[in-house]
């Protein structure tokens, strides 16, 4: 009976991701607005992760809070993009807030992180068309409608299980983590800033997503994200090299979408690979039949590696005692071997 519950939850969660990613992709392609497909699919995915167990009001509340954080972060980022002092000062404040928000648990971390992602995208994206705002609004409405339908027909959706984090101890531990988190994110944006501002988006988002208030969990995410991204990039390269059909790309995205939420806790590399593949294929819709897609895939892999490197450095700074303990253990084992 318990297995039936688990299977039912997986099917429901997969269906929600299929709707919230697939519908914007199809609408954007039919309306010849591939940029809207990309924006709607990514926004729909981020909001789909911001779900909750319990009654519908609890699920919609978390959706509304995350949508508000993303809207606020996006607006602030857009108005800061042409002023370096404003951009950097606000970004430091936001990343410090994300680091401290982790202390408040899952909901606070999700909300703060999504707001930070929206800020960096709005601040660094080269161009933005006003009509694409409708895809953002549509992503929120679609999440609300799909969530309400799911609740109506099947009731509360259980949360996915995950290993508890070994969080920092005391105010000083949290402050050190927040400072290290912010420092790693700021360094990522500084490295990514250049002629192609899209680099900053990928590097910073990678750093923000993989660095957790738990040394072991962060290290695992960092290394699995590198492997998963490589797998996703290779898969995207094969698919885009063999097929130059919009229909085929859309079908692959629709197949991938319902698989995305199921591997977050135990197979983070596969979770990362599926997200990377979906996003890169959505990018490909904007560059269909262009030779630039191969260059884009290589650049995105480089960006992920840089973002993971910054997160690795930040984690070492945030949790120095864990590093010292490991080094002492290695030195002790070496001494015993003699």
Return the pLDDT at 335: 46
Contact, 253 vs 281, CB < 8 A? yes
To the question of pTM greater than 0.85 for the whole model, the response is: yes
Counting the structural domains of the chain, the total is 1
What's the Cα-to-Cα distance from 212 to each of 135, 169, 222, 260, 326, rounded to whole Å?
A: 30, 14, 10, 20, 19
Main-chain dihedrals φ then ψ at residue 49, nearest 5 degrees: -70, -25
CA–CA separation, 212 vs 218, rounded Å? Answer: 5
pLDDT tens per residue across span 18-38: 999 999 999 999 998 988 999
48 located within any domain: yes
Q: For the segment 145-174, what is each residue's pLDDT rounded down to a tens digit?
A: 999 999 999 999 988 876 667 778 788 889
* 161 domain residue, yes or no: no
What value does the mean pLDDT take over residues 223-249? 90
Range of the domain at 46: 2-154+168-337
- Residue 331 tokens, joined: 């030195």
* Rounded Cα gap, residues 172 and 37, in angstroms: 44
| Mean pLDDT, range 116-140, rounded to an integer | 89
At 126, the pLDDT band (50, 70, 90 cuts) reads confident
For residue 104, the 8-state DSSP code is: G
pLDDT bin (cut points 50, 70, 90) of residue 265 is confident
């Amino acid at each position: 009976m318990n297995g039936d519950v688990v299977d039912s939850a997986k099917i429901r969660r997969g269906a929600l991701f299929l709707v919230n990613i697939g519908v914007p992709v199809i609408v954007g392609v039919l309306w010849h607005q591939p940029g809207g497909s990309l924006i709607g699919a990514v926004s729909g995915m981020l909001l789909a992760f911001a779900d909750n167990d319990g009654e519908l009001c609890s699920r919609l509340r978390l959706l509304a809070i995350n949508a508000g954080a993303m809207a606020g972060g996006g607006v602030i980022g857009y108005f800061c993009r042409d002023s370096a002092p404003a951009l950097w000062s606000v970004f430091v404040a936001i990343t410090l807030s994300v680091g401290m928000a982790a202390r408040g648990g899952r909901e606070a971390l999700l909300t703060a992180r999504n707001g930070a992602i929206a800020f960096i995208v709005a601040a660094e994206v080269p161009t933005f068309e006003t009509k694409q705002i409708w895809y953002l609004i549509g992503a929120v409405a679609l999440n609300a409608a799909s969530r309400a339908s799911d609740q109506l027909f099947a009731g509360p959706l259980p949360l996915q299980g995950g290993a508890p984090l070994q969080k920092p101890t005391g105010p000083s531990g949290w402050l050190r983590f927040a400072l290290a988190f912010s420092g790693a994110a700021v360094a990522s944006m500084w490295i990514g800033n250049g002629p192609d501002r899209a680099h900053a988006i990928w590097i910073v988002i990678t750093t923000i997503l993989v660095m957790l208030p738990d040394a072991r969990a962060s290290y695992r995410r960092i290394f699995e994200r590198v492997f998963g991204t490589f797998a996703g990039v290779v898969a995207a390269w094969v698919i885009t090299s063999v097929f130059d059909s919009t229909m085929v790309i859309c079908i692959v995205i629709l197949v991938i979408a319902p698989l995305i939420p199921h591997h977050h806790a135990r197979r983070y590399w596969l979770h990362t690979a599926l997200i990377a593949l979906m996003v890169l294929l959505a990018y490909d819709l904007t560059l269909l039949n262009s030779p630039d897609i191969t260059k884009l895939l290589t650049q995105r892999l480089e960006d992920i590696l840089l973002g993971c490197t910054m997160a690795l450095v930040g984690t070492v700074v945030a949790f120095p005692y864990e590093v010292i303990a490991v080094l002492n253990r290695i030195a002790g084992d070496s001494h015993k071997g003699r």
